[in-house]
């Protein structure tokens, strides 16, 4: 039979067996879908080599159950490492080995593992199983993949000595920057201070500043550029990055960044012409 036709004719059995192995392996949701896709890809490889190896002695479903179960545990072994039976479980016998696999490897609760164990070893009582489990060594929990959407991640690292030191340095730099800008602004003419207050402190456009100060608009652009260049030069001379200086002026709020640009007494009222010093 053509390999593709062989796969398609076996698809119903393949999907039923995948679903059975997924339930036994406690795969759900996206994990079960990913496993199903990987199994189908593996079955299609090398012209359906796995399907063509089916001798017909056992049913296709029984054959695939063994193959797909092995795929599941091989995949988990690659991701999380192989689980080895403890010496104590080996000494206690096959029932203890199975109990260790169910509880220590698969992380099944005892109440869930007990009926599975007794289906294979009906002579084992509940008390026998509890005694065996008590003697089996604890194992380090195996790593598990989780959906990051289900995990509450901290928005920021907790404040510590390093964070406190950074905040203190930022406050020091803010105060230094404010002092330099205030001293430099104090050397400007009253018109220039008023122009900066209206443009940055009150968010007025240059056209509005021109109209309010009754000054030609075009020269104001050059005056603004000269004022900013002087402020920038003062900051750079102090070793401070001046690229954010216009944003500092526009956001001059609070004690650290109080440049007087929002003080109504720092210049003439709109519409009053001032004389340069």
pLDDT in tens, 35-45: 999 999 999 99
The answer to whether 107 and 92 have CB atoms below 8 angstroms apart is no
Environment class of 122 (CB within 10 Å of its CB; exposed 0-12, middle 13-18, buried 19+): exposed
Q: What angle do CA 219, 225, 230 make, to 5 degrees?
A: 130
Closest CA to 103 of 91, 92, 116: 116
N residues, the chain: 277
* Centroid of chain to Cα 98: 39
Closest CA to 226 of 178, 188, 274, 179: 188
**The pLDDT of residue 161:** 53
Which tokens is 23 given? 């339930």
| C-alpha torsion sign, points 25, 29, 34, 36 | positive
**The pLDDT of residue 272:** 44
**Domain ranges, ordered by start, for the chain:** 1-82, 83-139, 163-266
* pLDDT of 265 above 50: no
DSSP label at 54?
A: -
The answer to whether 103 and 133 have CB atoms below 8 angstroms apart is yes
Q: Which residues have CB under 8 Å from 69's CB, separation 6+? A: 21, 24, 25
Separation CA 236–CA 249 (nearest Å) = 16
**The pLDDT of residue 256:** 44
Three-state DSSP state, 98: helix
The answer to whether 145 and 75 have CB atoms below 8 angstroms apart is no
What is the fold of 163-266?
Arc Repressor Mutant, subunit A (1.10.10)
Q: Is the pTM of this model over 0.85?
A: no
pLDDT digits (tens, 9 = 90+) for 137-196: 987 655 555 555 555 555 544 555 556 666 666 667 777 777 888 888 888 898 888 888
Which tokens is 235 given? 């900051």
Neighbours of 172 (CB within 10 A): 11
Question: Which residue is listed with tokens 């509940």?
Answer: 126
R_g of the chain computed on alpha carbons: 38
* Centroid of chain to Cα 124: 48
* pLDDT of 232 above 90: no
pLDDT digits (tens, 9 = 90+) for 45-95: 988 899 888 888 888 888 899 899 889 888 876 766 667 788 999 999 999
């Amino acid at each position: 039979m053509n390999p593709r036709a062989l796969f398609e004719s076996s698809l119903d059995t393949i999907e039923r067996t995948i679903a059975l192995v997924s339930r036994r392996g406690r795969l759900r949701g996206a994990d079960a879908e990913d496993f199903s896709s990987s199994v189908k890809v593996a079955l299609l490889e090398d012209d359906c080599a796995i399907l063509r190896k089916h001798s017909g002695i056992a049913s296709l479903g029984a054959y695939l159950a063994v193959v797909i179960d092995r795929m599941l545990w091989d995949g988990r072994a690659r991701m999380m490492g192989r689980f080895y039976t403890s010496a104590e479980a080996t000494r206690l016998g096959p029932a203890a080995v199975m109990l260790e696999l169910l509880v220590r490897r698969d992380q099944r609760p005892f109440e869930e593992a007990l009926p599975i164990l007794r289906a294979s070893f009906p002579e084992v009582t509940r008390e026998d199983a509890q005694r065996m489990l008590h003697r089996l060594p604890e194992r380090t929990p195996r790593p598990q993949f989780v959906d990051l959407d289900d995990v509450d991640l901290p928005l920021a690292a907790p404040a510590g000595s390093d964070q406190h030191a950074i905040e203190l340095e930022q406050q020091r730099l803010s105060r230094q920057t404010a002092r330099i800008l205030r001293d430099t602004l104090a050397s400007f003419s009253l018109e220039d201070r008023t122009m900066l207050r209206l443009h940055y402190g009150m968010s007025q456009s240059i056209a509005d500043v021109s109209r309010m100060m009754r000054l030609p608009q075009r020269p104001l652009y050059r005056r603004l550029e000269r004022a900013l260049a002087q402020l920038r030069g003062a900051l750079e001379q102090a070793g401070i990055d001046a690229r954010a200086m216009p944003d500092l002026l526009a956001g001059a709020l609070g004690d650290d960044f109080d440049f007087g640009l929002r003080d109504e007494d720092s210049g003439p009222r709109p519409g009053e012409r001032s004389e340069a010093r």
